[in-house]
């Protein structure tokens, strides 16, 4: 194989075919997707995130949360059984995300539906301040730099915007910085509980208890759900 | 490195394809012409390997001891881990790949390298780019795309620097005196072309003018696979194909078998990147296509293994003691293991367990530090003393580095792979509570932290040797200068009666 031009042509062809097959073809297929109108509510989906939540997406990117948290409910494995979403994730869900962060690893749980699973703002603040307060034995790092903390003088009351949660020492005041507020707004905006044509909600089983699937507060995750179906969110 | 492989006693020209009597520059001249580019690139890569390993240790420890440096926003796990990977891939692996690439192209082409200055300047630019990029990641300016985290004010520096070096390499290749091509040259030419394409396309499609929705994940996965396989992987394979025959003293078993392996490997690797998206929110045919390509890559894998085996079989036993050859064998074994694991992970039933677990991180570290890293470190150990004209001061340190690397790489990949499988099994069992699941990962991550420490220890040994080598070389150069001055002065003074 001593023909230089032929070698170069082959090298070029290998890259062109890979680019054509794995980038151009899917781009033609899903690259121009638009928001759709939902049948039940008449709203556009996906909605553009409100200001604070979209700033929170930047905080999520900047802190590298996607290193340990995924944002995709696969049709495989235990994703649906763990109530990480009421349905699988589809391309339509990510149209407004920049960057799209499907995640590298699941050191922590998937966050696709965290806004439904963990709707309590103070609980999320507490989780960012010290994950061990909310989930014993968690290996998530603390994010104390997202908060202003201050020792209270004797008898002084906490400010109105201070975070309240169990386990906080009496004389400590913790006030979320703007980044923390944005991040929590973003987390609350993450939900996968609507029905799409290409991703229907699994039929709810008749016997399912109409409970919540908020992981932090009850043990519903322990009950293995039958055949991919899960309890409704509300 | 055995004492036998000092620059003067090497088997030249070994890879069995260079016809006897071909007009070519002497190896001494070729090596001397590459002194400054190789020195600049390998010094930079050694420093970045050190930085990358320190970051990787911090990032690994933070996953099993979350209180470690908890108050520092710059050292939070989500920043230090991508910073480590970027330092290792762009700082260490890419730079040493360029150093070894320039040297092998010149040696095989039989011509001196005429573009030392532009390459040295471009190397500085590359290092500035990596420095700015890694700092930006730590400061929170990451783009959020794997291995493309460097923001748009750092990536163009890398691109320009690479294009300059690649143009110099191609120009030098164009002017080669030995026209016949050896398999290593196919891989190297390909890699010179593929990296700029991958890097520019991915940056344009993700950062400059982003595609929409999950197409971003597709482009990102395509890029990561291409970067590790077609850029770093190609150079590492070229290095293995160059050094295995050379150091074992046996001709390459069959160049036509390598040609078959080369073309199938190149095409299949190009299509095999998207198995990480199995079950994800992308059209199903995409990961399916990648699965098919990955399974088919068993053919080139087996071809390469066969060629390496037949090349080495029956070689002279004395050569086996050579540490550089051991680095090459280690790299070849890592390549085969990584390839086999990738094939196993491409089955959807397996990916349902192993995707999004520690397995992925472990495999990437294994490819960058094991397969690519060992091939390039071995190459640097062989090349540096030749371009400097001085042998490594301490062969024991080189052997020590090899041992540390083997232990380190095994300790990183083994536990992360096993831990990843257990993690996947537990994730898929909704009865397992998540906090206990995450806690059960810590012993495995802890073992991999130890692995990084071993690698760092080996790197310290390399530094000691490097510093000694440079000091000895400078002393020779300076005494040369001194004698030159001493000789020059009397003549000058005496010249004036």
Q: Tell which wins on pLDDT, A199 or B155.
A: B155
Task: Pick A61's closest partner by Cβ from B142, B255, B438.
Answer: B142
B374, burial (CB in 10 Å: exposed 0-12, middle 13-18, buried 19+): buried
Q: For residue A2, what is the DSSP state? A: -
Interface contact B189, partner A, CB < 8 A: yes
Task: Pick B282's closest partner by Cβ from A26, A145, A215.
Answer: A26
Least Cα distance to B236 among B36, B44, B408, B377 occurs for: B377
Residue of A nearest to B214 (CA): A91
Look at A141 and B77 and tell me if their CB atoms are within 8 Å: yes
Look at B281 and A17 and tell me if their CB atoms are within 8 Å: no
Rounded (5°) CA angle B58-B63-B69 = 50
Distance, CA of B443 to CA of B423 (rounded, Å): 12
Lowest mean pLDDT among A160-174, B216-230, B374-388: A160-174
Which H or E element spans position B44?
Answer: helix B35-64
Contact present, A143 and A130 (Cβ < 8 Å): no
Look at B356 and A63 and tell me if their CB atoms are within 8 Å: no
Count residue pairs from A and B with Cβ separation < 8 A.
239
Task: Pick A98's closest partner by Cβ from B210, B255, B280.
Answer: B210
**Average pLDDT score, chain B:** 91
Interface contact B363, partner A, CB < 8 A: no
Residues of chain B found within 8 Å of residue A17, distances taken between Cβ atoms = 267, 270-271
Residues of chain B found within 8 Å of residue A64, distances taken between Cβ atoms = 76-79, 81-82, 142, 144
pLDDT (tens, 9 = 90+) of chain A, 234 residues, equals 678 889 999 999 999 999 999 999 999 999 999 999 988 888 898 999 989 999 999 999 999 999 999 999 998 888 999 989 999 999 999 999 999 999 999 999 999 999 999 999 999 999 999 999 888 889 999 999 999 998 888 888 888 888 888 778 888 899 999 999 999 999 999 998 888 888 888 876 554 444 444 443 333 333 343 334 334 433
Interface contact B428, partner A, CB < 8 A: yes
Mutate to test the interface with B, among A67, A98, A134, A221 (most CBs of B within 10 A): A67
pLDDT at B319 over 60: yes
Look at B438 and A107 and tell me if their CB atoms are within 8 Å: yes
Distance, CA of B92 to CA of B368 (rounded, Å): 10
Whether the ω angle into residue B219 lies within 30 degrees of 0, i.e. cis, is no
pLDDT at B490 over 60: no
pLDDT at B221 over 80: yes
Distance, CA of B192 to CA of B163 (rounded, Å): 9
pTM of the predicted protein model = 0.91
Token digits of residue B122: 């471009």
Determine the pLDDT at residue B483.
Answer: 57
Look at A11 and B433 and tell me if their CB atoms are within 8 Å: no
φ, ψ of residue A113 in degrees (nearest 5):
-115, 25
pLDDT at B497 over 50: no
Distance, CA of B15 to CA of B107 (rounded, Å): 11
Least Cα distance to B427 among A62, A72, A154, A166 occurs for: A72
């Amino acid at each position: 194989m001593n023909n230089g031009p032929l070698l170069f042509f082959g090298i070029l062809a290998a890259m062109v075919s890979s680019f054509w097959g794995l980038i151009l073809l899917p781009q033609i297929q899903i690259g121009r997707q638009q928001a759709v109108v939902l049948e039940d509510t008449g709203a556009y989906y996906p909605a553009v995130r409100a200001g604070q939540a979209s700033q929170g997406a930047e905080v999520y990117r900047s802190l590298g949360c996607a290193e340990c948290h995924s944002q995709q409910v696969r049709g495989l494995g235990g994703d649906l059984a763990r109530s990480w979403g009421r349905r699988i994730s589809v391309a339509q869900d990510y149209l407004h995300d920049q960057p799209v962060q499907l995640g590298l690893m699941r050191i922590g749980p998937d966050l696709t539906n965290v806004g439904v699973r963990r709707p309590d703002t103070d609980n999320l603040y507490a989780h960012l301040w010290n994950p061990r307060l909310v989930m014993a034995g968690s290996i998530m790092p603390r994010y104390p730099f997202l908060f202003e903390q201050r020792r209270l003088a004797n008898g002084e009351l906490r400010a109105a915007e201070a975070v309240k949660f169990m386990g906080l020492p009496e004389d400590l005041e913790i006030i979320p910085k703007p980044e923390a507020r944005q991040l929590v707004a973003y987390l609350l905006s993450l939900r996968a509980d609507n029905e799409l044509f290409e991703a229907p909600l699994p039929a709810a089983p008749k016997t399912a208890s109409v409970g919540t699937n908020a992981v932090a507060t009850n043990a519903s995750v322990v009950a293995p759900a039958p055949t991919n179906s899960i309890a409704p969110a509300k | 490195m055995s004492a036998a492989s000092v620059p003067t006693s090497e088997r030249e020209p070994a890879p069995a394809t260079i016809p006897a009597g071909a007009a070519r520059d002497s190896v001494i001249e070729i090596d001397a012409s590459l002194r400054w580019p190789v020195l600049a690139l390998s010094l930079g890569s050694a420093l970045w390997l050190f930085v990358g390993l320190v970051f990787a240790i911090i990032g690994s420890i933070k996953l099993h001891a979350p209180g470690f440096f908890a108050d520092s926003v710059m050292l939070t796990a989500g920043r230090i881990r991508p910073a480590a990977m970027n330092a290792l891939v762009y700082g260490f692996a890419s730079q040493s790949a360029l150093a070894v690439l320039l040297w092998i192209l010149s040696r095989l082409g039989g011509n001196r390298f005429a573009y030392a200055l532009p390459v040295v300047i471009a190397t500085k630019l590359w290092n500035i780019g990596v420095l700015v990029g890694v700092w930006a990641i730590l400061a929170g300016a990451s783009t959020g795309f794997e291995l493309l985290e460097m923001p748009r004010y750092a990536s163009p520096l890398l691109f320009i620097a690479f294009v300059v070096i690649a143009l110099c390499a191609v120009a030098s290749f164009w002017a080669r005196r030995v026209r016949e091509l050896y398999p290593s040259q196919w891989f190297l030419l390909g890699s010179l072309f593929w990296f700029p394409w991958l890097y520019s396309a991915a940056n344009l499609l993700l950062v400059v003018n982003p595609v929409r929705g999950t197409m971003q994940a597709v482009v990102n996965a395509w890029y990561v696979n291409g970067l590790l396989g077609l850029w770093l992987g190609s150079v590492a394979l070229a290095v293995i194909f160059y050094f295995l025959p050379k150091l074992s003293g046996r001709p390459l078993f069959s160049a036509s078998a390598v040609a078959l392996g080369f073309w199938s490997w190149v095409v299949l690797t190009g299509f095999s990147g998207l198995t990480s998206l199995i079950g994800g929110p992308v059209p199903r045919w995409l990961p399916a296509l990648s699965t098919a390509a990955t399974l088919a890559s068993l053919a080139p894998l087996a071809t390469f293994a066969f060629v390496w085996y037949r090349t080495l079989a029956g070689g002279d036993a004395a050569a086996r003691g050579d540490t550089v050859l051991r680095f090459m064998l280690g790299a070849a074994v890592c390549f085969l293991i990584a390839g086999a694991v990738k094939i196993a992970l491409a089955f959807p039933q397996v990916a349902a367990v192993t995707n999004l677990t520690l397995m992925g991180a472990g495999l990437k570290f294994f490819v960058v530090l094991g397969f690519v890293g060992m091939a390039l470190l071995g190459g640097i150990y062989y090349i540096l003393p030749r371009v400097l004209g001085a042998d490594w001061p301490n062969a024991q340190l080189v052997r020590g580095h090899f041992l540390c690397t083997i232990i380190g790489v095994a300790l990183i990949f083994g536990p992360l792979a096993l831990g990843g499988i257990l993690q996947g099994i537990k994730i898929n069992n909704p009865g397992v509570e998540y906090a206990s699941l995450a806690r059960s990962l810590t012993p495995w991550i802890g073992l991999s932290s130890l692995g990084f420490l071993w690698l760092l220890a080996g790197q310290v040994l390399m530094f000691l040797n490097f510093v000694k080598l440079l000091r000895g070389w400078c002393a020779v150069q300076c005494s040369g200068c001194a004698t030159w001055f001493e000789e020059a002065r009397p003549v000058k003074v005496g010249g004036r009666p």
